Structure 1
Amino acid sequence: MVKIASVLALASSAAAFAPSAKPASTTALNADMSKSLPFVVAPTNTAGYVGDVGFDPLGFSDNFDMKWLREAEIKHGRSSMLACLGFVAQQYLTLPGYTHVDDSNLAPQAVGASAMLQIVMWMGVLEFWTNKGNVTMETMFSDPARVPGDLGFDPMGLSVGKSQEEKDAMALKEIKNGRLAMLAIGGMIHHNWITGEPLF
């Protein structure tokens, strides 16, 4: 009897060291981590989009429509690329009838309110036209086939005959250049504000 009790005691003590099966749970310890911020859990709503590196530290993709966010990023990137070009070009080129200014931040004052209002008005018309009148976040993507940033504008036929992988590679280049341009135009503007001198 003593032998049986000893064997049972040893068996029960050995069982204490055996790993127990636990149900899988998603926590910060076993979740996919962000590529860009390795100490933050990767956002799930950005997965599958071209240029996704898991960067959404404020959780915008959890609170807003991801298609709307992508459209906003692409449009801001395109505007910033044009702004960078215009910021530099105006130092060397002056439209006939206008005064040359070295400080690009003074350009709106040089051309006056009418020219600035024309830009705002025509951008509003373009926004209305490209979205077929659906200009609110709730209705902009009521058509499920609408791709964010795709305006059907390809006058040089750069996407003709390209595979989806090649189109995605070009889209990634546009997004990366747009992200860089958003940072660059902010730096250019603040350079002029702080120094009061032309960029070049």
Structure 2
Amino acid sequence: MMIWAILVTSVAAFAPPSAVRPSLALHAELSTMPGISVETGNKVFDPLGLAQWRDIEELRATELANGRSAMLAVVGWVWPQVFGLWPGGSVTTTDPIAAISQVEPEAWAQMIILCGCAEAAKVNWASGVDAKPFFDPDALFFDPAKVYPADPAGQEEMQLKELKNGRMAMIAFAGLVVHHFNPAAVPLLGDLK
């Protein structure tokens, strides 16, 4: 296996530069998307050059979806440890990993159905299917709560905020998981499990 990895990396070293580096047109297309800020050195954030192999819009949509999930995950991880558990529930621990096995199967089914309904509405909207009450043919994307600003400056600001919060949440969730299994690895988290 080790020899295979060495052969693959050595073959990649002899690839022509155009196959390894994103083109200038791709870089220009990336630079028009929200996400360029002081945290990324005021340049496009694609350290692994993944945009040269995949659709940029798909990558951004995936980043936003993962960021939104991470924001919910961080709140779900920290909330019980700071504010306590909901009364009368089947979960008796604030340890997030141990709590997974204490959640009743009916609750898991409800969560899966809720997520499935939201995803189905999003897919229906993207394909143009009239999925009332969420369908709005004039909307640029799936926004059932109508929280997206109408003015371009507000739109750009909101997109950048969501992207930054999502990126921070992904890093925070990774830190919480590492801290759970190795408490000395992440400073300043204290007694969080």
What is the TM-score of this pair, normalised by structure 2? Answer: 0.63
Match of 2:45 in 1: 55
Question: How far apart, in 1, do the equivalents of 2:168 and 2:77 lie?
Answer: 15
Matched with 2:80 is: 90
Q: Retained in 1: the 8 A contact 2:125–2:142? A: no
Partner of 1:118: 110
Aligned-residue Cα RMSD (Å) equals 3.3
Structure 2 residue aligned with 1:138: none
Contact 1:50 1:168 in 2 (8 A): yes
- Superposed CA deviations along residues 24-72 of structure 1, whole A, max 9, x for unmatched, are xx9xxxx97xxxxxxxxx8344221111332223332122121111111
* Gap change, CA 1:163 and 1:60, over 3 Å in 2: same
Which residue of 1 is the match for residue 135 of structure 2? none
Residue of structure 2 aligned with 1:43, choices 27, 42, 49: 27
Asked whether 1:154 is paired with 2:145, we answer yes
For residues 152 and 125 of structure 2, the distance between their equivalents in structure 1, rounded to whole angstroms, comes to: 29
Paired residues for 1:108-147 under 5 Å: 108-132=100-124, 147=140
Q: Could you tell me how far apart the structure 1 residues matched to 2:70 and 2:89 are? A: 26
Provide the rounded CA distance (Å) in 1 between the counterparts of 2:176 and 2:183. 11
CA distance in 2: counterparts of 1:94 and 1:101, whole angstroms: 8
Displacement after TM superposition at 1:152 (Å) = 1.9
Q: Distance in 2 between matches of 1:184 and 1:171?
A: 20
Stretches of structure 1 that go unaligned for 5 or more consecutive residues are 1-25, 33-41, 136-144
In 2: Cα distance, 1:198 partner to 1:108 partner: 20
Matched, 1:76 2:60: no
> Are positions 1:199 and 2:159 aligned together?
no
Q: Structure 1 CA distance, aligned partners of 2:125 and 2:154? A: 31
Does the 8 A contact of 1:81 with 1:181 survive in 2?
yes
Give the unaligned 5+ runs of structure 2: 1-17, 37-42, 128-137, 185-189
Q: Is the 8 A contact 2:90 2:104 kept in 1?
A: no
Q: 1:123, 1:133 → 2: CA distance?
A: 15
Partner of 1:173: 161
For 1:146 and 1:103, locate their aligned partners in 2 and report how far apart those are by CA, in whole Å: 41
Distance 1:185 1:119 in 2: 20
- The SS at the match of 1:97 is coil
